[in-house]
């Protein structure tokens, strides 16, 4: 029984001893934000929190199957770290040009030995976070549909083109009329526009000028969830009735011509009827 107890105590001591090695260091990395195709520096801090020195230290990033590349070596040697001391090693990583914006976890492995037992190789694994953001790249255009003719009702739209890789959210458009009167609300909520996509806000109007301007305020949240505002002044062309006819935008109405023809036929019919009636009366006489 005593032998069993001694064996149990021995295993317990070995287990506790191994735990002390396993927790011998702590690792911390600065949180960085980079953009697709760009690079950033990661400061990896290794802190020796135990009561023994550690030696033959190496730090490595595991970038397999991740859209990142290491600029220089992905594994570096670190100076010996005494107990209650720390050291920092710097890595440079680059995001691929076609990476999808978002938050990523980068795995690392720290290998080392205790100065008291250099034959036992130890290691610590973990991850740290990095953000790949997206630069907002928007383009805008004013489009008219139905009749773009002064004095008539039509529809003007603001097209928002998201040329960036990341989505924009909570998009809304508010306009101030200049050269036209609004027949609909002055504010339209669009919502989310994904990267490499487009959406539009449309307004029913009556044009009062041939040179109106779409004055718009576009508000949205960018990929980093920050509120953004863009003020736009986009002029567009509206035509007079004569200009629209010359350019073939509209065709001249033939209603008047048809009315004249009908009236002429009616007059001819009445005259012919009167002549016919007069001839009949002469025959009777």
What tens digit of pLDDT does each residue of 103-132 get? 999 999 999 998 888 888 999 999 999 999
Q: How many CB atoms lie within 10 A of CB 191?
A: 11
- Judged against a pLDDT cut of 80, whether residue 179 lies above it is answered with yes
Q: Assess contact for 136 and 35: CB atoms under 8 A.
A: no
Rg (CA), the chain: 40
Q: 285 or 39: which carries more pLDDT confidence? A: 39
- Judged against a pLDDT cut of 50, whether residue 7 lies above it is answered with no
Q: How confident is the model at residue 6 (pLDDT cuts 50, 70, 90)?
A: very low
- Judged against a pLDDT cut of 60, whether residue 14 lies above it is answered with no
* Tokens representing residue 153 in the block: 């009702």
pLDDT at residue 245, rounded to an integer: 73
What tens digit of pLDDT does each residue of 33-53 get? 999 999 999 999 999 987 889
* Tokens representing residue 119 in the block: 């034959």
Handedness of CA 92, 80, 16, 28 (dihedral sign): negative
Burial class of residue 162, CB neighbours in 10 A (0-12, 13-18, 19+):
buried
- Judged against a pLDDT cut of 50, whether residue 15 lies above it is answered with no
- Judged against a pLDDT cut of 80, whether residue 223 lies above it is answered with yes
What tens digit of pLDDT does each residue of 189-205 get? 999 999 999 999 999 99
What tens digit of pLDDT does each residue of 18-37 get? 444 444 689 999 999 999 99
What tens digit of pLDDT does each residue of 130-157 get? 999 998 999 999 999 877 888 899 999 9
- Judged against a pLDDT cut of 80, whether residue 81 lies above it is answered with yes
- Judged against a pLDDT cut of 80, whether residue 86 lies above it is answered with yes
Question: Rounded to an integer, what distance in angstroms lies between the CA atom of residue 190 and that of residue 211?
Answer: 27
Domains and CATH numbers, the chain: 25-132 (2.60.40.10), 138-246 (2.60.40.10)
Mean pLDDT of the chain: 85
| pTM, to two decimals | 0.66
Question: How far is the CA of 126 from the CAs of 44, 61, 202, 220, 242, in angstroms?
Answer: 12, 10, 51, 36, 74
What tens digit of pLDDT does each residue of 165-178 get? 889 999 999 999 99
The mean pLDDT of 240-254, rounded to a whole number, is 67
pLDDT at residue 253, rounded to an integer: 53
The per-residue DSSP string of 245-269 comes to HHTTSS----HHHHHHHHHHHHHHH
């Amino acid at each position: 029984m005593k032998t069993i107890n001694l064996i149990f105590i021995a295993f317990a001591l070995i287990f506790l001893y191994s735990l002390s090695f396993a927790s011998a260091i702590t690792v911390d990395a600065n949180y960085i934000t980079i953009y697709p195709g760009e690079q950033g520096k990661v400061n990896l801090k290794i802190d020796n929190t135990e009561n023994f020195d550690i030696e033959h230290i190496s730090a490595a990033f595991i970038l397999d199957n991740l859209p990142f590349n290491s600029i220089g070596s992905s594994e570096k040697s670190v100076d010996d770290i005494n107990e209650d001391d720390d050291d920092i090693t710097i890595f440079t990583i680059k995001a691929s040009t076609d990476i999808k914006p978002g938050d990523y976890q980068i795995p690392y492995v720290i290998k080392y030995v205790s100065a008291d037992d250099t034959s036992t190789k130890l290691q610590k694994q973990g991850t740290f976070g990095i953000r790949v953001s997206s630069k907002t790249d928007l383009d805008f255009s004013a489009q008219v549909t139905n009749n773009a003719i002064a004095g008539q009702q039509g529809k003007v739209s603001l097209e928002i083109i998201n040329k960036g890789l990341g989505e924009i959210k909570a998009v809304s458009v508010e306009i101030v009329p200049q050269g036209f009167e609004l027949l609909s609300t002055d504010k339209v909520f669009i919502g989310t526009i994904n990267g490499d996509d487009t959406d539009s806000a449309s307004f029913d109007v009556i044009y009062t000028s041939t040179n109106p301007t779409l004055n718009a305020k576009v508000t949205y949240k960018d990929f980093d969830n920050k509120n953004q505002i863009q003020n736009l002044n986009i002029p567009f062309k509206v035509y007079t009735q004569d200009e629209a006819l010359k350019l073939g935008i509209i065709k001249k109405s033939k209603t008047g011509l048809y009315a004249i023809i009908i009236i002429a036929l009616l007059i001819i019919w009445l005259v012919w009827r009167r002549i016919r009636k007069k001839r009949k009366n002469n025959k009777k006489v």
